[in-house]
Amino acid sequence: MPVWGIGIVLLFTLLVFAVVHFAAKNKRPFKRAFISMCIGLGALVLINLSSGFTGVKIPVSLLSVLVSVIGGVPGVTLLMFLDLFF
């Protein structure tokens, strides 16, 4: 996937999250959407940083980054369970 395609997916995700936060009547929907995306990416980074202690490592690829950004913490949890079982 080209870089501009990844950018479009991330921008579309940000807009969808902003609409959801706007519908939930948050004061700053774009800020909340960006924070939600960053929390998912941060969870992926924390799982990989703690892999020396836990033995769980999620390979970083385009798919895993997009799942963590779009899915947030539940997406990272899903990736972690898939890595543990398969």
| Per-residue pLDDT in tens (0 to 9) along the chain, 86 residues | 688 887 888 888 888 888 888 888 888 888 888 888 899 999 999 999 998 998 888 988 888 998 998 888 999 999 988 888 88
**Token match 């913490």: residue?**
73
Q: How far apart are the C-alpha atoms of 45 and 57, rounded to whole Å?
A: 10
pLDDT of residue 55: 86
Q: How far apart are the C-alpha atoms of 4 and 52, rounded to whole Å?
A: 34
Helix (H, G, I), strand (E, B) or coil at 65: helix
Give CB contacts under 8 A, 24+ apart, made by 77-80: 79/44, 80/47, 80/56
Kindly report the pTM of this predicted structure: 0.79
